[in-house]
Amino acid sequence: MITIRNGATLLPAVFLLALGHAFAGDIVGKVKYAGNAPPPAKIPVTKDQAICDKVPHVDETLLVAADKGVKNAVVNVADPKDGKKMTAAKNPVIDQNGCRFVPRVQIVPAAQQIDILNDDGILHNIHTWPKANTPFNRAQPKFLKKMNVQFEKPDVVRISCDVHNWMQGWLIVASNPYYALTDESGSFKIADVPAGTYTLQYWHEKLGTQTKQVTVPATGSVTADFEYPAK
């Protein structure tokens, strides 16, 4: 149990949670790869080259920086204690641009509308591969510039385009706000986590899921670096 002194009184962690942001810290860190990752392979564009070839296509399933930082890993608190829900001020957007899903990996709130754009002006389709939600496969022709979807339950959802089989993406459907996506250097930050001890989960589309325990202080931050073993 985490406690903090208030004069002569020791306040238990459950009371700190009730006080919200007054006793909350940040989880910061870096996700790294232990091995030497090969450079991303070029992906051949076999259809609609006039549109799809406007951007280079490479295999983005494992992007590792020079210092071993892993991009597009998702870090989250697996067992939050405050019941807070994740919300977004505006609808998350998935753009089909250059025959890619942009962004490739995105964290979205459960039960909130997602806007799917078709900026390419050609036929695409959205095929989802969820674990907890109902899958769908919807055509998005060039005249349909925007579609709306949502996922009711927390999930890890792979998305693909059956028209252009190299197009892959991921939606991490979150029930709480304590999620973060690593940047190009592998760094992340989860802000304003109520003080306490938690299970931190690390997910990556190629490297899988791992967990570790972390204790968040009532103020300041805790560092939770993680290294995936080489594949």
- pLDDT tens column, 71-93: 999 999 999 999 999 999 899 99
Taking domain 85-175, whether its CATH number is 3.30.470.10 is answered by: no
Which tens digit of pLDDT belongs to each residue from 110-129? 999 999 999 999 999 999 99
Q: Which is higher by pLDDT, 18 or 181?
A: 181
Predicted pLDDT of residue 231 = 82
CA–CA dist 168, 121 (Å, integer): 19
Tokens of 157: 């959802």
Contacts by 143-147, CB closer than 8 A, 24 or more apart: 144/118, 145/117, 145/118, 145/119, 146/115, 146/116, 146/117, 146/118, 147/115, 147/116, 147/118
- Give the CATH H-level superfamily of domain 1-48+64-82+178-231: Carboxypeptidase-like, regulatory domain (2.60.40.1120)
Domains 1-48+64-82+178-231 and 85-175 in one fold? yes
